Structure 1
Amino acid sequence: MNEIWETNFGNNLYDFNNVFPVKSIQMAYCCFLFSSRKKLTQTNSLHGNIHSFSGKTGKTLFAREIRFFVALSLFFTISVINGFSQKVERVVSLAPSITENIYLLGAQDKLVGCTSYCKRAIADDVTQVGSVININVEKILALQPDVVLAVQLTKAQDIETLKKLGIRVELFSTPKSFDEICGQTREIGVLLGVENIAEQMFEKFNNQVDSLKGVCEDILPGLKMFFQIGADPVFTVLPNTYMNDFILFCGAENIADSMKHGTITRESVLVKNPDIIIVATMGGFGEKEKKIWSSYKGLNAAKNNRIYLVDSETSCSPTPNNFVKALSDIVQFVTTQ
């Protein structure tokens, strides 16, 4: 499954409420304190000698309560620290790109659950727990994961259910640039304890991207590109998305650079008359779309035979290696005369 998400970048690194309910503890202690004072008053009343907390007995009991509260606070502070420092050994991934990142980081031995679209993990007999959108909460619970890595396509009520069951959930969203793709992968690396591997990878991928950018430096400015990622209706790559970096890094202009919504008519594309058209394969729909665009003989891209297909498995799945692979193909298209 290709992932083109419309969400905000990473949040909820740790759900503090999943560690312990702070308010409940505070309320419990207040009840304890009130109860102790009440017992003190009642006990001394029976002996005809009511003492306030300023008396000897009151001071003793109050000191005990303070010690109890300090011990209780220390216990839960240690619990929180342990929760944050807990080593992650069992991971459930709810998105193909997250699964690919886990393999990229060499941490696949920690993967115990995945979606029905995570081909590589399925081939390794990792337990399937549903699709990206619809998950089986019971299956996930049975896997006893240390953390579940999810995207905002997964139903919100299922995410909340997992949290209420005490399962740690890290929610990721669509990165808006190549830098954010790397940032998301780094975040996963930190969670899985392989941040050093992540840092080494980023240096390599950043060097490759810089090298590919350099290849396009001599391209004439003003080259107009249409990048199609959906059919029926026709859907285009928008600004402020990581896929727009494919266009920008080639030194080209996105014909949709003023659009806020991805749906576009064929008539609009013809009016903008792009010099290059790139179509994501989309499981067979790409070939059909290429033929349709090629039939418009007045279109610059059609006249110059500059309509290309790019693999949607790399271009539409946000991981650093996929981005570099797709960019390499697109640079080749752009530099081919």
Structure 2
Amino acid sequence: MNNSPDSSYTDQTGREVKLSLPPRRIVSLVPSITELLFDLGLENEIVGVTKFCIHPVNNKTRIGGTKRLHLSAISALQPDLIIANKEENEREQVEALMQEYPVWVSDVHDLSSALEMIRQVAEITDRGQKGRELCTAINAAFAQLAQQIAVLTRGNEKLKVAYYIWKDPWMLAGGDTFISSMLEQCGLENVFKDRTRYPEISPETLMHTDCQLVLLSSEPFPFKESHVSFFKNLEVRLVDGEMFSWYGSRILRAVAYFRDIFYLNQTFF
């Protein structure tokens, strides 16, 4: 890897970022990328994480929430690389950090862009080989899942699902989200694939669609069994939100989870 003091990289928003390589003091503003950094073997280089960075549990300095960063705490860490996300972090705060530090911004909306993020993060942290190996393993796992789905479904129509992330107001994943991309990888069809971001759709409104299965996520809103009763005459399942929305190394672990909850006992097919 090029170890020149001013190597330039383009982040996923198209911004040029100049880095001193390899970075020794990394601050991650994104929980799923924090997990990725640990899996790439960068535990010693990570100096700051958000309060939502829970995998793995560690004693790194907490620098606030993803949308309420403590900029002074970040400055005290004197990072030589900050990793942010276009959607998860507040633009104003990220732009303020850009005035002082190298900030690499991810923008992930499907499996392809997640894999590209993994490759690029691995490259800028001097873990290129590990990143490529991880991407190869993820591609192989999803290819195997696709083959298994084809056998189990026997060409039947895709099950139509709605994936809720929030209550009061009721919000679900639209078609341009990473969650929707994961639903597609599971062989499912997002009923609201023609809607963008996270539209507000009440359980009553959902009753008038062709939805066959409602998925209630464990995050960001912690749906419980008590919320199932809001959906009359519809099949409802509580699911692990991290498996559908964390787009770092977690997606490799997610494949087995998808297989188990949707296809192991052929509950819906």
TM-score relative to the length of structure 1: 0.67
CA–CA distance in structure 2, aligned partners of residues 274 and 88 of structure 1:
47
Q: Is the 8 A contact 1:11 1:170 kept in 2?
A: no
CA deviations on 1:248-290 (whole Å, 9 max, x unpaired) are 2233322112223521122331112422222212364242322
CA–CA distance in structure 1, aligned partners of residues 98 and 187 of structure 2:
44
Asked if 1:230 is matched to 2:166, the reply is yes
CA–CA distance in structure 1, aligned partners of residues 109 and 75 of structure 2:
32
Which of the two has higher C-alpha Rg? Answer: 1
Aligned to 2:211: 274
Structure 1 residues 263 and 112: CA distance shift in structure 2, 3 A:
same
Asked if 1:205 is matched to 2:138, the reply is yes
Aligned to 2:122: 189
Aligned to 2:195: 259
Aligned to 1:249: 185
Unaligned runs of 5+ in 2: 1-10
Aligned to 1:311: 240
How much identity, in percent, do the aligned residues show?
Answer: 20
Aligned Cα root-mean-square deviation (Å)? 2.3
TM-aligned CA deviation for residue 162 of structure 1:
2.6
CA–CA distance in structure 2, aligned partners of residues 249 and 155 of structure 1:
29
Q: Is the 8 A contact 1:310 1:330 kept in 2?
A: no
Structure 1 residues 9 and 277: CA distance shift in structure 2, 3 A:
farther
CA–CA distance in structure 1, aligned partners of residues 185 and 53 of structure 2:
29
Aligned to 2:41: 106
Q: Select between 262-271 and 277-286 the one with higher mean Cα deviation.
A: 277-286
CA–CA distance in structure 2, aligned partners of residues 170 and 222 of structure 1:
37
Aligned to 1:25: none
SS of equivalent to 2:22? coil
Q: Select between 310-319 and 277-286 the one with higher mean Cα deviation.
A: 277-286
Could you tell me which of 13, 17, 34 is aligned with 1:14? Answer: 17
CA deviations on 1:130-156 (whole Å, 9 max, x unpaired) are 211122222222212111111234333
**What number of residue pairs does the alignment pair up?**
249
AA partner of residue 82 (structure 2): V
* Equivalent runs, 1:1-337 vs 2, <5 Å: 9-14=12-17, 84=19, 86-120=21-55, 123-152=57-86, 153-165=88-100, 167-173=101-107, 175-217=108-150, 218-219=152-153, 220-260=156-196, 262-282=199-219, 284-293=222-231, 296-297=232-233, 299=234, 301=235, 307-319=236-248, 321-335=249-263, 336-337=266-267
Q: Is the 8 A contact 2:26 2:79 kept in 1?
A: yes
CA deviations on 1:81-119 (whole Å, 9 max, x unpaired) are xxx553211101112112111012111211011111112
TM-aligned CA deviation for residue 327 of structure 1:
4.2
TM-aligned CA deviation for residue 9 of structure 1:
4.4
Aligned to 1:58: none
CA deviations on 1:182-229 (whole Å, 9 max, x unpaired) are 111111111100011000111111111111111211312142222222
* Structure with the bigger percentage of strand: 2
SS of equivalent to 1:106? coil
TM-score relative to the length of structure 2: 0.83
CA–CA distance in structure 2, aligned partners of residues 215 and 318 of structure 1:
22
Structure 1 residues 236 and 9: CA distance shift in structure 2, 3 A:
farther
Unaligned runs of 5+ in 1: 1-7, 16-83, 302-306
Regions of 4+ moved over 6 Å: none
Q: Select between 140-149 and 154-163 the one with higher mean Cα deviation.
A: 154-163
AA partner of residue 266 (structure 1): P
AA partner of residue 62 (structure 2): Q
CA deviations on 1:295-330 (whole Å, 9 max, x unpaired) are x23x3x3xxxxx2221123322222x4234344333
* Structure with the bigger percentage of helix: 1
